[in-house]
Chain A
Amino acid sequence: MFDQIIGNLSVLTAAPIFAVDLLFQGLFIGAIFALAGYGLALVWGVMNVKNLAQGDLVILGGYIAFQLAAWGVHPVVALPIAFVVMFAFGWGIYVLIIRRVVERDLFTSLLATFGLSLLIQQTLNRIYGPEVQVVESGLGSREFADGLMIVPDVRILSLVLASVLAAGIIVFMRYSRMGQAIRATSQDARAARVLGIDTDRVYAFTYALNSAICGATGVLVALIWVIQPFYGIVYSIRAFIIVTAAGLGNLPGVIFTGFGLGIAEKYSDFVLGSEFAIAAVVLFLVFVLIWRQIQMYRVRQVVR
């Protein structure tokens, strides 16, 4: 096993173009992780709900694209559709489940969303089966460095779409009435309530917005990667890594960590071999948590 790792490392040093290729691949998927992470930071920061179903919302969005593609709808068109559908879905989930756990202790929201996660993955498994699925975009690809590095157009497209989505959300949060209400509620829900903001509606909107972001992210995942009913948990863990490492309400941090995680994952994937891919992601989480503890220990505090 160690020979293999050393072999892979020597490939990277011998052919730096591979390293560059991995870097770009990491950036492409990192953009997706950053979106899912931002959504989690939003619900976590505003309503203090630790959404373990985050990854499953992503995968659900992917399956919407998959279903629409089966009906002959192009994935680029599927993106706004998934956004709207998942917005409505998120609102429904809020009314049925999340509303009742918002004010409860932290473990409650965690476990309720874990149940939701099971529900979503098993329903998808029931409908679509456990096979790995992709959505074909029908786009070509570009070659760089004499064909050593191939970048499919769909990746570039997904990066553009992710950026547009992120920009749209930032503008919305900064300038719209609802965006302001969300930011006010995240700072002090009680004060916001006293000042006449309907926090229940703000919460519903926040959760729905997160769900919509996840849905759109899922469409991108289905485009450039693969989807499978049980892949959700890994996206949840990635989102948690990003939020834990970057902290709440730190948008540049979230984007930066998202890219960092994407790149780190691509490299570890290449060096350790793909059978360790999930283990590597989870170990990143454990490392981030330990690192945070050491950080807090130095200032005589704990991670809470």
Chain B
Amino acid sequence: MTARKLDYSIFTFLIAFGILAPFLFPNFVTQIAVMWMMILFASSWDTAGGQMGYNSLGNITFFGVGMYISAVVQVGMFYDVAEYTASFGAIKPVFTDAQYYKGLVFGLAAAGVGAALISIPIGLCVLGLRGPYFAIGTLGVAVAVAELVSAWSYVGAGAGISMPVYPGPAGEGSLVFYSLMFVLTIGCLFFLRWLYSTQFGLAINAIRDDEDKAEAMGVHTTLYKSTAWAFAAFFLGISGAIFGNMIGFIEPLEVAFPTATFGIFMVAMSLLGGKGTLWGPVIGAILFHIVKELTWSYMEGMQWIALGAIIIVNIVYFQQGLLGWASDRWPAAFGLIVDKSMTADDRDGDAREAAE
């Protein structure tokens, strides 16, 4: 089982890197934490987008929803949220250490579960749509939720919420959030690897290949689709909660529901690495993040223009992604058995073409 060995060596490498990184690059802890988040973004997007063929442009919704849920829980467990947000930061509540950690734990849990729960009614509305309608519908949901949150004064409307401050030295705080993000991402990857190895993985692949056929075979497509989406929402919700705490201040349009940045990054990274594979999105995310961090600050306002150009070039000229390209080139290394001799000169092959 070489595929299995390869998986475990990649896991070992990632975990080793994750543990060593804060010591090797102490000045870049936050950037590397964001890199883990990007990996999580790309991998969780790929569950619906790559494995199931449901290309969402609105997964960022769950990131923001998780972030807001954790904020409300973390503040609301000890103070009145409406009063807190109405004061625009004038009230600076002091959380004891115990209160802070309790809030954080419950906040993260509520963020994951809450985002997953919210994904179900949203899923019922949009998962019945196919192809472009689904993509546009999810984009619509993301924009609508962002706009509604910006108009909802209970959570601070457009002005946002300040998160409780980590009760310790700043460097220690970023290490804590780094560790949380790292553990979450690795956990997510292990979970997805297991998920894709079960009947569930087959079912969502079948939905991608031919959903009508899957329906005709009696697969509960709606159940599978909403479950797959809820898993993605769960991990995105927690990552949003961690990111909100890491940043310290959340607001709807730029931090919580950035459709045009994180929202589209997920898709671009997944496609760059190769969608529909476990490691493609990971590779895409790492490459994308490194290139972005290295070049972003030198571009002097041109970075967003460059981003648009990258997406176009990625889509138009390099659609199958790095892993897709590699598996076309070396199919045997990916466990694909293509028996050309059996098919190429088979007389039935002509009949197939004639029938099409």
Contact = CB atoms under 8 A, between A and B. Distances in A.
A118 B307 contact: yes
B308 interface: yes
B191 interface: no
* Most chain A beta-carbon contacts within 10 A, residue among B132, B151, B317: B132
A5 interface: no
B128 A278 contact: no
B334 interface: no
B303 to A, nearest CB: 9
Interface in B14-61: 55, 57
A289 B137 contact: yes
B151 A119 contact: no
Nearest to B148: A279
B218 interface: no
Given A106-B131, A115-B309, A237-B140, A282 B126 contact: no
B147 A279 contact: yes
Nearest to B259: A233
Size category of the B interface is 35 or more
A118 B132 contact: no
B309 A119 contact: yes
A111 B307 CA distance: 13
Interface residues of A, number: 43
A78 interface: no
Do most interface residues of chain A lie in helix, strand or loop, or is the interface mixed?
helix
Interface string A263-303: 00000000000011011001101100110110001000011
Contact of B305 (A50, A122, A244, A292): A122
B302 A126 contact: yes
A142 interface: no
A115 B147 contact: no
Interface string A120-145: 10110110000000000000000000
A190 interface: no
Nearest to A274: B151
A118 B304 contact: yes
A108 B305 CA distance: 19
A122 B311 CA distance: 14
B308 A115 contact: yes
Q: What 10 A-B pairs are tightest by C-beta distance, nearest first?
A: A119-B308, A115-B311, A118-B308, A279-B147, A122-B304, A282-B144, A304-B130, A115-B312, A107-B55, A285-B140
Given A118-B260, A289-B137, A303-B133, 8 more contacts: A50-B136, A107-B55, A112-B315, A115-B312, A244-B133, A278-B143, A286-B144, A293-B128
Interface of A: 50, 52, 97, 100-101, 104, 106-108, 110-112, 114-120, 122-123, 125-126, 233, 237, 240, 244, 275-276, 278-279, 282-283, 285-286, 289-290, 292-293, 297, 302-304
25 contacts: A50-B132, A100-B316, A110-B57, A110-B135, A111-B311, A111-B315, A112-B315, A114-B311, A115-B308, A118-B260, A118-B264, A125-B304, A126-B305, A276-B147, A278-B143, A279-B148, A286-B137, A289-B125, A289-B133, A289-B136, A290-B125, A302-B129, A303-B129, A303-B130, A304-B133
